[in-house]
Amino acid sequence: MTVSSINPRTGLVEEDLGAESTAEQVAATCRAAAEAAVLLAAADRGVRSALLRAAAEELEATRAEILAIADRETALGTTRLDGELNRTCYQLRHIADVVDDGALLEVAVDPAGPTPAGPRPELHRMLVPLGPVAVFGASNFPLAFSVPGGDTAAALAAGCPVVVKAHPAHPATSALTFGCLARAVARVGLPAGTVGMVQGHEAGQALVQDPHIQAVGFTGSLAGGRALFDLAASRPSPIPFYGELGSINPLVVAPGAAAVRAAEIAEGYVGSMTLGAGQFCTKPGLALVPREHAAEIREHLGRALGAAGPAWLLSEGIHRAFRTGVADRAAHPHLNPVRAAGGPAAPVAEPTGYLAEPALFWTTTDDLDEAAELVLEECFGPVAVVVEYSGTADLLAALARVPGSLTGTLHAEEEDAELAAVVLPALASNVGRVVYNGFPTGLAVAWGTTHTGPYPSSTSVTHSSVGASSVRRFQRPVTYQAVPEHLLPRALQAEGLRATPRRLDGESVPTGG
């Protein structure tokens, strides 16, 4: 099959990029990654951080071309894409700082000697790279979660070569940004196999099954991610699959907050669920509001919905699934549409491309059993469901039914303290990030970031896919027992130890100590 660049504004092919990657090409790319893995694993931390910084510089130098092509393929607009490119470059440099810091090597040295449990040999422990990593680019972030995105940065930081499976929604953007990575690799003197890229559905399956690949990073749909997760688990030697899949991201409005901030919360909620045309994995797809303030909140939601205009979705598949999802919800007897108020008149002409009008539906906890399949199922795009609850027990029972999510949000005031004391732990038990009096569609890139959650939002709850701890996914521990110093990895020899924070006989020692 041919790889085609399609414009979401028209639905038409803009450019044919050639054939999809063959099985032989996938295998050759993975072999090159395996050959590069030896040199990258042995490289000093400074080489890895230099690679990440060089990648950021190459992306910035190609900014104008990236923005033009990415806008053509995604219809996200150059302003949004410019911000995403800034985030991508910041993310690369942040992870470079993490590499330079050295703490994520988790170096520990235990000298030989007597202990209450008996004699102890000398032990040197550190984290080492897993090996070549497959990264699947996401449709909704063609830069920050795609070819040069967070999974790629984390894997390279860990010392793992990367083979990216480009997303079919932005193949030209993928090829362009891959060229930036390849130039960065050449600049720091690493082998070309340090980064590779393949295109095509079958190529993605072959990539996960290739014996040289030692881990997978994935951001995408629940169905597609689960299929690849099962492939990774069914290999003769199963490998870790770090998948970010579907997420509902519940948002709770407490009675006190509804009484004083109904209009503000409604406007913010609609803004959050329509941000990026509702194609964020952190979109709050479910809101729970107190019954005693339901009428007021619904009125404000209708006004905010009326002010929200249509937006283009990223691909034909997303557009088709969105239209089906909205139609299913509109036809359900226990889901009632929130009518937009005061908005612009609907266009007379049939829209071209993958245009989507925002939609919001309303139900109650009394009807949740009948509508649960649609209320608790993610629908990508600008659509969400609001559920009325009656009292704390009713709210907690509804939250207990929400599938694992990336985020959970609570809007509350001081008079809601008793409710907040039980709702916040309930949210924390089922999400990776708890938001208070805000909205979840902004995600910081930082040491304290958590971007994961219980299944189905993610396939692993132990490590974030964004921020400093994202590197840890692609490392494993190795202990060297009674190995002479000159045979240890350089990071565990005396000079390397002085340049690395570590634990010595259980005590924390800073860099230079």
CB 137 within 8 Å of CB 165: yes
Active-site option among 58, 244, 267, 378: 244
Read out DSSP for 182-245?
HHHHHHTT--GGGEEEE-SHHHHHHHHH-TT--EEEEES-HHHHHHHHHHHHHSSS---EEEE-
Q: Look-up: residue for tokens 């053509």?
A: 72
Q: Both tokens of residue 55?
A: 């990648």
The half-sphere exposure of 327 on its side-chain side, counting CA atoms within 13 A, is 6
SS3 358: coil
- The one-letter amino acid code at 425 reads P
In sequence order, which residues have a C-beta less than 8 Å from that of residue 486 and are 6 or more positions away? 493
* Whole-angstrom Cα Rg for the chain: 25
CB 128 within 8 Å of CB 38: no
In the annotation, is 418 catalytic? Answer: no
User: What letter does residue 505 receive in the DSSP assignment?
Assistant: T
- The one-letter amino acid code at 41 reads A
Q: Both tokens of residue 267?
A: 């406007």
Q: How far is CA 57 from CA 88, 189, 443, in A?
A: 11, 16, 23
CA distance 203 to 30: 11
- What end-to-end distance do the CA atoms of the chain give, in Å? 58
CA distance 353 to 74: 11
Q: Both tokens of residue 27?
A: 């295998």
Active-site option among 30, 160, 281, 379: 281
Measured in residues, the chain has a length of 513
CB 277 within 8 Å of CB 311: yes
Task: Taking the CA atoms of 203, 208, 210 and 216 in sequence, report the sign of the dihedral they define.
Answer: positive
CA distance 57 to 286: 40
CB 101 within 8 Å of CB 501: yes
CA distance 395 to 368: 12
List residues bridging with 2 in a β-sheet: 19
Four-CA torsion 362, 368, 374, 378, nearest 10 degrees: 90
Nearest of 316, 27, 40 to residue 189 by alpha carbon: 40
In the annotation, is 281 catalytic? Answer: yes
Nearest of 409, 450, 421 to residue 285 by alpha carbon: 409
Residues marked as catalytic = 244, 281
